Structure 1
């Protein structure tokens, strides 16, 4: 009996770092009972998993975190860059201890975040916004590849996918301006899925992901590159190969 092998994909820690770097929609689930889900004004996950969170200064969770260190879970949803019926591609949960910083600590933390990702909302620290920090104890990443628990040191040792900063723009461009390319890529889908509405879902160094929206349910399919890629030029070669470009052999 032949073995069905899954296409190669980024390892779990890399997928988690990529979700964190993309900075999707977040919700804080505290253990103190002040609220079921708290949507922060801003969040930033640092390379080691420590997370900086901004909340309104008068939010009940800020007062609770100032009185005692609390446990909490930060949930980050990775949304597809194109409009889909089911837009969430994956979830990252960071569980740990949360505490509120005083104004001076908060401003230093805001400057640290600004060095990595400038945002005008950071200027509100000390002027209506408070800073909390979440120190990780464990992380869980869940997506089409599976659900995996990670230790913070594994998360810290990984790096985000090399294309995560450009993925949104490229996939939107593919969706809006190059439906012919999506059609050519569809030739790699299983026969039973070729009648659905094919959408670009994701891109990483190992391959391309397509979403097939059918009448009854959706299907995600990973199309692997011949080898992992690291540059835009290598990516272009692999995409041309998947499209069946007749000049590829000469270019290589």
Structure 2
């Protein structure tokens, strides 16, 4: 098992990666702070007197403005493959009043930045209703169905992937090397297997110049669930002692 195109797009667009915005009929690219709400819509937070806010002001009596966010992946460690790049296009509307307050609370639940206290004065929140999603991965570009994108959930481990991979490399090399060799068998050869990425479905393992994917028995829900799943691997002596005591 591995992430679907819709899940990859939602994970990349979740708001943890740097993004740039292109605005219809406006030159240039704008760095943008963004998050994705539960329905897959984008929220953009920008200074009220900044270039992005100015570019997103509707013209000619329109109610909204076309915008495209470009969000490339940033792999967690050297030698890790990229998840790809996503372009999310839609229609941006500036929020005010109750809508702005609700969006600010939604944002604060993921990222309680102090700038949210200034929404309506020095900061502006825009909501982007998504119309088109394109995902580029390994040199191939695919269109992602907007309904599938909206229904998909971003990966629960993505925000802490760097910490998890670093912890395995710093503190569990012996246990993980033995486990990966047992799971991958002859495919390992003489290479030292190294976990370079992980998601809810499993590990991506580097074997010299090659990459292999090792699936979990089931998708994991969060960090605690991952810890429970890996506990027998990372602490085999603990598991053995527990089994002995139970017997």
Same fold, TM-score > 0.5, yes or no: yes
1:91 equivalent in structure 2: 85
Q: 2:52 aligns with which of 55, 58, 61?
A: 61
1:5 equivalent in structure 2: none
1:225 equivalent in structure 2: 216
Contact 1:51 1:134 in 2 (8 A): yes
Shift of 1:169: 2.4
Contact 2:176 2:233 in 1 (8 A): no
In structure 2, C-alpha distance between the alignment counterparts of 1:206 and 1:11, rounded to whole Å = 11
1:235 equivalent in structure 2: 229
Unaligned runs of 5+ in 1: 1-7
Unaligned runs of 5+ in 2: none
2:111 equivalent in structure 1: 117
Shift of 1:205: 3.1
1:193-232 counterparts in 2 under 5 A? 195=191, 199-212=194-207, 214=209, 219-230=210-221, 231-232=225-226
In structure 1, C-alpha distance between the alignment counterparts of 2:129 and 2:39, rounded to whole Å = 9
Q: 1:74 aligns with which of 44, 69, 80?
A: 69
Alpha carbons of structure 1 residues 33 and 14: separation in structure 2 relative to 1, 3 Å: same
Shift of 1:141: 3.0
Q: Which moved more, 1:44-53 or 1:181-190?
A: 181-190
2:136 equivalent in structure 1: 142
In structure 1, C-alpha distance between the alignment counterparts of 2:129 and 2:168, rounded to whole Å = 38
In structure 1, C-alpha distance between the alignment counterparts of 2:25 and 2:186, rounded to whole Å = 49
SS at match of 1:48: coil
1:157 equivalent in structure 2: 151
Alpha carbons of structure 1 residues 169 and 141: separation in structure 2 relative to 1, 3 Å: same
1:29 equivalent in structure 2: 22
Alpha carbons of structure 1 residues 162 and 86: separation in structure 2 relative to 1, 3 Å: closer
SS at match of 1:175: helix
Q: How many residues align?
A: 233
RMSD: 3.6
Shift of 1:193: 7.8
